[in-house]
């Protein structure tokens, strides 16, 4: 608990308010004495075919104890008792074909180039979970060309209507942001240079824009606030450098000279894990394919990439078996790393929930009638594990998000769904009783 107390006291001491699309708002820390909870969202693009996760012959709800997991997720076999496979949620109202982008985590209609119409579940959780220096971290994985050309994109997470949250895809940039203050050599020089540059830009930007129209002035204010957010975060991380030094990943050639994009995928995941273990954040969103229809895995021997992967059937497809197995190994690493850190009477993993699904429901070209989800961990005993649940297709993904909010101490019956919309797309109200303990 000491690592979290250090960071929480640091955040409370500066009293910062993150209001831009670069970083989400800090809310008041929870006063509960229970162990802190954390949630990880792992979103794989191109769809999550149910047959790649549901054990063969399992058509109704039941225990996973005697079931054999399919080949794509067989790496998770030793963790079946901590798993809950859910089939039958829907997201028809999100227009998920080719991806609803922000709508996947927002539970609302979205699409390519469509701004978020509300906040997303990961951001909402960052407001109610115990306060951290960086309430929410979003990391994205793509082809090496895309990650270099666009090291940050905003496709999955949002802090409100028209307020996207950017995901980091270049591990060098993210490492420098998180650990530049404790680094040496070129990384330290780059960190200091960027800090000086951002400081000058903030000062210059703050003196301009007074004569803009009111609508533009508000947007300009968010732009100026963004630099203040970045500079403030750098200062706060620097003030807990001794603590962070224990968790910073080792910098190797995979950062500066990756052979394949998967070298960067692995390192960006390592940075996400380090942010969780150090207590920098309690909410991590991983976008494999960055919420779009692209993505590449040449490091796995997969030569095809991008949109074409979504036109391939996933069950029994050796290409998708490789990709899903790679994801499963990442999930195992997340669990093992969190399991290695004591917390309360158990470990960090005991108080964590991992949500694995796709921003494309069950396939790239989909109506969203079926949105499979796999949960790992029980978030402090809040969720049932070791089982498979088959739903009837009448509850939306919003109900899952409502369930996670309930497990995090928020009393709500719906997430981002009006009564009018629910009358058409939700047969019930409140959380999913089938998955809560």
How do residues 119-154 score in pLDDT, each as one tens digit?
999 999 999 998 888 889 999 999 999 999 999 999
* Number of alpha carbons in the 13 Å side-chain half-sphere of residue 103: 25
Cα separation, 165 vs 101, in Å, equals: 12
Q: Is 407 a domain residue? A: yes
Assess whether pLDDT exceeds 90 at residue 300: yes
Q: Which strand (E) or helix (H) includes residue 167?
A: strand 163-168
Assess contact for 312 and 365: CB atoms under 8 A.
no
Assess whether pLDDT exceeds 70 at residue 410: yes
Q: Is 65 a domain residue? A: yes
- Domains contained in the chain, number: 1
Assess contact for 396 and 104: CB atoms under 8 A.
no
Q: Which domain holds residue 72?
A: 2-173+261-425
Strand order through the sheet with 62-63: 62-63, 387-390, 83-87, 373-376, 352-358, 38-44, 283-288, 136-141, 163-168, 152-160
Please say whether the dihedral angle defined by the alpha carbons of residues 45, 136, 284 and 175, taken in this order, is positive or negative: positive
Q: Is 39 a domain residue? A: yes
Say what the pLDDT of residue 32 is. Answer: 40
Q: Is 183 a domain residue? A: no
Q: What is the DSSP string of 380-426?
A: TTTB--SEEEE--S-SBHHHHHHHHHHHTT---S-SS--HHHHHHH-
Say what the pLDDT of residue 186 is. Answer: 64
Q: Is 109 a domain residue? A: yes
Q: Is 227 a domain residue? A: no
Say what the pLDDT of residue 227 is. Answer: 45
Q: Indicate the SS3 state at residue 358.
A: strand
Q: Which strand (E) or helix (H) includes residue 6?
A: helix 2-14
How does pLDDT run across 220-263, given as a tens digit for each residue? 455 445 444 555 566 777 777 778 888 999 999 999 999 999 99
Please say whether the dihedral angle defined by the alpha carbons of residues 145, 147, 152 and 153, taken in this order, is positive or negative: positive
Q: Is 244 a domain residue? A: no
Tell which residue, 169, 53, 48, 39, has the closest CA to residue 104: 48
Tell which residue, 134, 128, 101, 98, has the closest CA to residue 117: 101
Cα separation, 335 vs 317, in Å, equals: 27
Q: Is 96 a domain residue? A: yes
Confidence of residue 16 (pLDDT cuts 50, 70, 90): very low
Domain of 59, CATH number, reads 3.40.720
């Amino acid at each position: 608990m000491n690592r979290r107390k250090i960071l929480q006291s640091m955040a409370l001491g500066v009293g910062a308010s993150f209001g831009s699309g670069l970083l989400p708002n800090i809310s008041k820390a929870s006063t509960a004495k229970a162990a802190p909870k954390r949630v990880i969202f792992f979103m794989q693009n191109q769809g999550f075919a149910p047959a790649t996760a549901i054990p063969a012959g399992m058509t109704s709800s039941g225990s996973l104890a005697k079931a054999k997991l399919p080949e794509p997720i067989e790496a998770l076999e030793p963790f079946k008792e901590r798993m809950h496979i859910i089939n039958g949620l829907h997201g028809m109202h999100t227009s998920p074909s080719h991806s609803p982008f922000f709508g996947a985590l927002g539970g609302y209609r979205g699409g390519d180039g469509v701004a978020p119409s509300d906040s997303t579940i990961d951001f909402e959780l960052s407001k109610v979970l115990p306060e951290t220096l960086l309430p929410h971290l979003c990391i994205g994985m793509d082809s090496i060309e895309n990650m270099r050309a666009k090291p940050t994109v905003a496709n999955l997470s949002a802090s409100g209507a028209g307020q996207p949250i950017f995901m980091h895809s270049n591990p060098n940039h993210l490492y420098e942001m998180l650990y530049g203050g404790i680094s040496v050599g070129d990384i330290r020089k780059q960190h200091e240079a960027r800090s000086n540059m951002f400081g000058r830009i903030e000062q210059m930007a703050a003196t301009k824009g007074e004569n803009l129209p009111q609508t533009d002035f508000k947007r300009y204010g968010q732009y100026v606030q963004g630099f203040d957010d970045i500079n403030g975060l750098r200062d706060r991380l620097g003030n807990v450098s001794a603590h962070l030094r224990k968790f910073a990943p080792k910098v190797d050639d995979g950062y500066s000279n990756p052979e394949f994009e998967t070298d960067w995928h692995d390192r960006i995941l390592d940075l996400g894990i380090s942010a969780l273990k150090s207590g920098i954040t309690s909410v991590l969103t991983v976008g494999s394919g960055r919420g779009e229809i692209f993505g590449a895995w040449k490091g796995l021997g997969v030569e095809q990439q991008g949109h074409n992967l979504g036109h391939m059937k996933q069950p029994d497809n050796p290409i998708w078996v490789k990709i899903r197995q790679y994801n499963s190994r990442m999930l195992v690493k997340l669990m093992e790393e969190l399991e290695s850190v004591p917390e309360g009477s158990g470990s960090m993993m005991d108080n964590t929930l991992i949500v694995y699904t796709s921003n494309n429901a069950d396939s790239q070209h989909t109506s969203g009638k079926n949105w499979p989800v796999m949960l790992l961990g029980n978030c402090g005993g809040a969720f049932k594990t070791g089982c498979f649940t088959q739903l009837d297709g009448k509850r939306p993904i919003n109900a899952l998000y409502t369930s996670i909010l309930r497990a995090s101490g928020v009393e709500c019956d719906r997430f981002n769904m009006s009564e009018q919309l629910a009358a058409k797309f939700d047969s019930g109200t409140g959380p999913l009783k089938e998955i809560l303990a």
